[in-house]
Structures are given as C-alpha cells and as structure tokens.
Amino acid sequence: MSHSLLSAEPGSTHLLLGNEAVVRGALEAGVGCVTCYPGTPSSEAPDTFFSLAPEADYYFEYSVNEKVALEVGGGAALGGVPALVTMKHVGVNVAADPLMSLAYIGTPGGLVLLSADDPGCHSSQNEQDNRYYARLAGLPCFEPASAQEAKDMTRDALLLSAKWEQPVLLRTTTRVNHLRGPVTFGPLRGAQTRGTFVKNPSRFVPLPAIARQRHPALLHNLSSIQEEIGQSSWTRHSGQGSQGIIASGISRAYLHDALADMDLQESFRILELGITYPFPEQAVLDLLHSVDSVLILEELEPMLEDQVRLVCQKHGLQVLVQGKDENLTQLGEYSTQSVRQALLRFQGQAPEEPDLCSTREGLPGRPPNLCPGCSHRSMYYAVRQVFGDTAIYSTDIGCYTLGFLPPLRAADFLFCMGSSVSGGSGMAQATGQPVVAYIGDSTFFHSGITGLINAIHNRHNLLLVVLDNSTTAMTGHQPHPGVDQTRHGPNPAQVDIEQVIRGCGVQEVSTVRPSNLKKTLDILKDYKEKDGVRVIIAKEPCVLFARRTLGRKNPQTAYVAEQTDDVRRCLEELACPAFYVQDGEIQIDENQCSGCMLCVQIAPSIKARKRS
C-alpha cells in the first residue's frame, strides 16, 4: 500500500510533523527534483522524501553539500522541472554563491529553498536569521506557523516560483519543523520530472553585461510579486481597536494562543504576514493608518520592525512602534508566555510573574555525550594518550564535536562545516605547535576535501584524523558517497576515502580500527614524529547504525573482575557512559555496553564475557 503522503484523498486530514507537511506540499505542487544536505531541524523533510522515493516518481538525492544541492536543484529548475532544495540555516551560507546568481537568471521550472532556522541554537553553532538572505538575494520569503501552513506554503511557494520564474525561500524555524499538527490534504499533482531547457545565453550566462540587465529584471519581478503578496491570503487582517499587532512566523501561533488565554481576541487590529518579503508595504500602511501604536512580534532580528519604522517615517505617521526590547530580545525563541507578557506591557499593564514548570530537585546533570562504544571516543582516547595537551585540536561539525568535554577534550576550536583541515593548517602555521584535526566522513565529502588539497599544495604541517563511521550519524544516518550500505540496500557507487586522500597527494595515509588500541597507538606515535600532511582514517561503524541498519550484535560485554587502580583510571580517562559507581565500586552496565572491548585493552582488571 502506498504511503499516505502519496495517496491520501484530497480533503482528508492527517496528523503530520511540520517537515512531513513540507513534503506533502511539494508533492501537491508536482515537485520533480528534491536535493538536500541533511541538517537539523530540516532533516526529516529529506528523510521522508528518501523513504518515499521507491514509490514515487520524483528524483531525490542526498547531495555532498548544500552548494551542490542547490546547483543540482537549480539545474533542474532551469530545465523546467519544479525543484525543492532543503538544508538548515547555516547550510545557506555554503549555498550562498549559486543562490545569488540563481536569483538573477531565474528558475523557469520553479525552485524553493527550504531554510530551517534554529532560534535558540538547539543544534547549531549560531542562530542566524536567514530572512536576511531573502533580502540579500531578492527571494520572496514564506514563513509558516503551523503544519497546515507548512504544507500549503510549500505548495504555494513552488507555484509562485514557477509563475515568476524566481527562486523562493521557505523559512521555517525549529518549532515549526518539529511541531505536529492536523493537515488537510489537497489534490496531488503528478511529479513533473522532465522539462525543456530553452536556450537563452543572454539570460542564463550572467556575464557582467548580462548581470547588469538581470538585476533590474529581478527588481521588477519583486515589485510585481510585492503587489501580489499584498492581495494574498497569506496577508491577513483581523480584529479591531486602536492598537495594532504585526506578527510573522511562529510568533503568529504564540499570539493566537496568548490572546485566547487572555480573552483578548478582539482587542487588537492584527496583521499576520505569512510572506514577509517583498515587504507588503501597503498592507502595513493600511494598518498603521488605523492605529495609534503597533507591536511587532518576530523572532530573532528586528527586520519587520525596521521596515515598519521606515514606513512610519516615509509617510510621516506618528504611530508608536514597540518591538525589540529587554523582553522581546534578538535571542532565542519566543513563547506563548513571552508574547503574553509583551501584550500586557503593550497595554500599559505590569507583566505577570511567569507561571513556569519547574524541574524536580536533585536530578543529575546530563551533559551531551558520545554513545557507549562510539568509535570516536576510542580514537580520542588514543590521541590523548599520544599527544596529551601538547597538541591543538581542530574539530568540525558532527556528533564527534561532543568529544570537547573532559576527559577527552578533543576540541580546541571550530568554525563551520569542513573547517577543521584548513583552520588547523592556519593554526599550525601560526603557532608552530602540533595540530590534530578531526573531521567526519560525511563532512570530509561535504567540504573537507578542498581544505586537504590546500594543505598539500601549501605544504602545511597537520595530522588529520578522518572519523569514518560509515554514515552521517548526527542527523539520522543518512547516506553519503562513502557508505557501502543504505536503508535501501548496497551503495553501488561507493567512493573510497583512502583512495581519494591518496589522489589528493597525501603520502602518509593509514586506516585503522579505533577499537584496536595497540595498532592505533602505534600509528599515532609514528605519525607524531613526522612532518607534513598525514592522515589517519579511523574506520568503525557508528554503533547505532551498525545495530539498526547493518543488523550487527556484539555477543560480548565487559565486566569489572576486580576493583583496581587501572579500572578507576579507565573510568576517569575514557568516561564511557556504560560505567557507573555503586556503593563505591565501579561497575559496567551490560545494557549500555556495546561490546567494543576497548576498556578491556586499557584495564587488565576488566574482562570480557558472553552477553547474558
């Protein structure tokens, strides 16, 4: 039986994750090409497309990085095929180069870029507001507030993009991606997987003379789209009174909840902006003419607020604008509670004492941690045995970043995806100290290769450790070019990391299994005495991936045979989560133990036995 996302009748209602709703919306628009690089909070969208792919007609790929994903999607859109490209917010930084040009030359088949922003840094290195990219590149920007809107806006964004032949930004936030809500389906369109490319070099090859012509064409289109947005159902007026509220994104959902809680549904004139760029100036002006003051609700940057102040100045309006302040800050997520407080202040009332849920006292702290049996932990332990604090550790984006905490302390600095190699090169050049750089296998393909080539070309002095766990572990075990197995079976086009590294010109390359401690230590000691670019590939499957996808079960478990100093030292230096202390004695939880047997090699008093 087909998946409900592919077959449900129009008018039926389903409970969907926001990211799943995005998938349905794209299907209703007839999407023919979907590309991505997985990144939380967007990951479930491409993962759902991936799961549906065997039953569906659209083309889908996990691209090696966001720039490539957008270029593949852009090529399909130029060929007349509706394309959806998904990534997390920081991925748009990687894709920014083609994004700027695509806005100029246009996308005849229609192209939507899903940018999943992360206010509050739930799983990200920053909380940048990608509405800036909409303005920078000149992309209409949709901002859903519910699962239903995530579905409908994805559909409408693709249709708008195809109509105006301009790429569109679908900007979600973590709360929208991961909420679950009822979604009423519309009719499905058949996937449009083939199109026609109408050659027009004077448009699609942005030489300087052509780019100068395409810029005014883009501005003209945006002006027309701005008029259309003002009349769109995504620009909504409601309520009454002399005070106004303008809200976008998930803030609209918080606003409705707060108004319902306070029984103030009819106390304000409200303008909801589902499409925030091009800025619907006339709709805002209409509201401002009818109120004495206006409250702006938007997460992160004061972009709407600045636009509203500009409209007031431009038209000489004496409207009090209340936006970002010490309570509605540029930091993190809003909530129903924070919006409720803002409404009280807006009405001149004293804020209430927040009625927040409190946690139980005495709960133990649970810092982020690598899994029991994680091969990254094994490698970090070995590196610290050889280099200790004498080396500087350059790390990268992935679950291995969790190794930054003591006692592993495997991270001294980090910039972004793929930066550990090139950043480490610069660090070694500047300090003259040994540098050990870590990068995951997926991240190596994403953007580590160029840094490695640069290190070889410029003769940097660096030890690079590729932590190859045979999957993209952090975001949910998505495949990459180096895997041999995916959820859909063997990978017929596996790319060998060691051969790639040798092809880049690296002479000193070794592949080890980190769970083999002696061999790993021997290679580390050997490479420590050498100069130049050296690479160790630490290859061992992610323990979760090995169990869930590869079906591997380790029949052994470790146990403490005798309480000795070497056992305590193992606990203190390895910090495996399977260890625990009870009544002063160190024990190993068989349910937590993965059976990697690294601890057995560290402490003679720890033994292996058959799992019960």
- pLDDT tens across 221-249, in order? 999 999 999 899 999 999 999 999 999 99
* 337 has pLDDT over 90: yes
Average pLDDT over residues 119-127: 92
pLDDT in tens, 515-568: 999 999 999 999 999 999 999 999 999 999 988 888 888 889 999 999 999 999
> What percent of the chain is predicted at pLDDT more than 90?
90
Confidence of residue 308 (pLDDT cuts 50, 70, 90): very high
Q: Are 482 and 470 in contact (CB under 8 A)?
A: yes
The amino acid sitting at 446 is H
The pLDDT score that the predictor gives to residue 552 is 86
pTM of the model: 0.93
Average pLDDT over residues 24-39: 97
Confidence of residue 326 (pLDDT cuts 50, 70, 90): confident
Instruction: Quote the CA–CA distance of 422 and 267 in Å, as a whole number.
Output: 56
Confidence of residue 489 (pLDDT cuts 50, 70, 90): confident
Q: Per this entry, what is the length of the chain?
A: 612
The pLDDT score that the predictor gives to residue 400 is 92
Q: Are 398 and 413 in contact (CB under 8 A)?
A: no
Q: Are 557 and 589 in contact (CB under 8 A)?
A: no
* 58 has pLDDT over 90: yes
pLDDT: is 239 or 487 the higher one? 239
Which residues are paired to 273 by β-bridges? 235, 248
Q: Are 35 and 160 in contact (CB under 8 A)?
A: no
Packed helices 89-105 and 208-230: angle between N→C axes, nearest 10 degrees: 110
Chain-centroid distance, C-alpha 277:
22
pLDDT in tens, 261-292: 999 988 999 999 999 999 999 999 999 999 99
Instruction: Quote the CA–CA distance of 62 and 92 in Å, as a whole number.
Output: 16
Residue 515 three-state SS: coil
The pLDDT score that the predictor gives to residue 554 is 86
Instruction: Quote the CA–CA distance of 8 and 92 in Å, as a whole number.
Output: 33
Of 54, 29, 304, nearest to 187 (Cα)?
29
Instruction: Quote the CA–CA distance of 378 and 518 in Å, as a whole number.
Output: 11
Average pLDDT over residues 191-199: 94
pLDDT in tens, 351-399: 887 777 777 888 877 778 899 999 999 999 999 999 999 999 999 999 9
Average pLDDT over residues 26-47: 96
Instruction: Quote the CA–CA distance of 183 and 349 in Å, as a whole number.
Output: 37
Cis peptide before 280 (omega within 30 of 0): no
Number of CB atoms found within 10 A of residue 70's CB: 30
Confidence of residue 1 (pLDDT cuts 50, 70, 90): low
178-190 exposure pattern, b = at least 16 Cβ within 10 A, e = fewer: bbebebebbebbe
Chain-centroid distance, C-alpha 348:
39
